[in-house]
Amino acid sequence: MENRKVSLETLMVMESKEQRTIDPHVLPIYATSGFSFQNIEEGIDAFLNPSEKHLYSRFANPTIDTVATKLARLESYDADGDYFCLLTNTGMSAITTALVSVLEKGDIVLTQPNIYGGSTELMQRILSKFGVTIETIDLSDMDLLSQKLTQKEVKLVYFETPANPTLSCLPIEKLAALAKEHNAISIMDNTFATPALQRPLSMGVDIVIHSTTKYLNGHGNGMGGAIIAANNWYGKIWGHYKLLGTNPSPFEAWLLHNGMKTLSLRMEKHSYNAQRMADFLSEHPSVDRVNYPGLTTHPDHEIAASQMAKFGGMMSFELKGGFESGKRMMNEVDICQLVPTLGNVDTLILHPASMSHLHVAPEIRRQAGISDGLIRMSVGIENIDDLIADLDKALAIS
């Protein structure tokens, strides 16, 4: 703009430009919905090459892109090839975007019963309305899976390991290879483990998703999700992503960026505390069973040990007194908090049957081992002796 004087009102509205070249030590938040062009030619080029230019923050944003690139590098750290990440505004929107991008009317999805209740509900209630069939089977039965994959309509195998909330584990490499052998896509939710403990892309999984709200952020102060896959998937998934509008805000991406800086340290402490807690609960007279892959008594311990660096901070356990004992115990804890999320630095407990899996059919819950008395626990990074004392007091009353 020429150096002519404008009115006070116009000056108030005009955007101020940075007056010097800067190199911020910490990633800045680009709180802008759109990006200006110097001329029409630059604008045309941006719309012709939207994956290479910034033009509108629903498509791409410097803060979001920077954080996404970092997460793609973490998740594909020991995988061959080039990978991308798209950040979304929630974990559910990551699941939705990924599934909608790869599925069509008439496709069949094979999945397991013991996954996050919201994922099951999305598939059963929403995807089924658009002609997608959901088959819930025991994905640990490789013979059954191989038989099901012979159906030409099977397009996708969707799974979690460790699963929410039973902590059952599946052999990632075998499952991904079997899907690939039958030209099916594999999508895995790696929220519980994070790339600090487990990297499914290096084991052959096609697409990895996360609720970044959980361990990747780690502080319970932001929402988000992520989709990570090889670059050949970019065009198809990004095309749906921009139209669905599932992008996060730059601020949420920035919070995720801060959280990931301590991910390795946090997962180390989460895993240590959870192992100690599992050992304690396994010996407690009020506890019927403990689901934690770090226990040698866990049916999938060897599978988890073969593909996880450590066993993570998630567990579930069943009280001998059932649902009523569970309610009494949860009402007596002081340090542990009754909160319907997981992966925070503080310890959180939840009752799946009445909370996270409330809308999952009872028969599917029972099939998955999610009883009415099951309690899920996200073990935090507090002093473990304090946590054990808190649980011991609460269990004595329950």
From-to residues of CATH 3.90.1150.10 in the chain: 263-397
Cis status, amide bond into 162, omega within 30 of 0: yes
Does 165 sit behind a cis peptide bond, omega within 30 degrees of 0 on the bond before it?
yes
CATH 3.40.640.10 range(s) for the chain read: 40-260
Instruction: Say what the pLDDT of residue 160 is.
Output: 97
Question: Amino acid identity of 82?
Answer: D
Flag residues of the chain having pLDDT under 70. 1-3, 12, 18-21, 355-357, 360, 367-368
> For this structure, is 116 an active site residue?
yes
Q: What is the pLDDT of residue 54?
A: 87
Predicted pLDDT at 175? 98
pLDDT at 112: 94
CATH for the stretch 40-260 = 3.40.640.10
Q: Check if 242 is active-site.
A: no
The chain-wide mean pLDDT, for the chain, equals: 92
Catalytic residue check, 372:
no
What pLDDT score was predicted for residue 3? 61
Nearest-angstrom CA–CA distance, 141 and 167: 17
For 12-51, the DSSP string reads HHSPPPP-S----SS------SB---SSHHHHHHHHHSTT
CATH architecture of 263-397: Alpha-Beta Complex (3.90)
pTM of the model: 0.93
Task: Out of 148, 155, 199, 214, pick the active-site residue.
Answer: 214
Given the residues 189, 206, 300, 310, select the one marked as catalytic: 189
- Residues 155 and 184 sit within 8 Å (Cβ to Cβ): yes
Cα-based distances in Å from 350 to 112, 236, 280, 315, 388 = 21, 37, 19, 11, 17
Determine the pLDDT at residue 36.
Answer: 87
SS3 354: helix
Q: Residue 78's pLDDT is what? A: 94
Question: Is residue 58 flagged as an active site residue?
Answer: yes
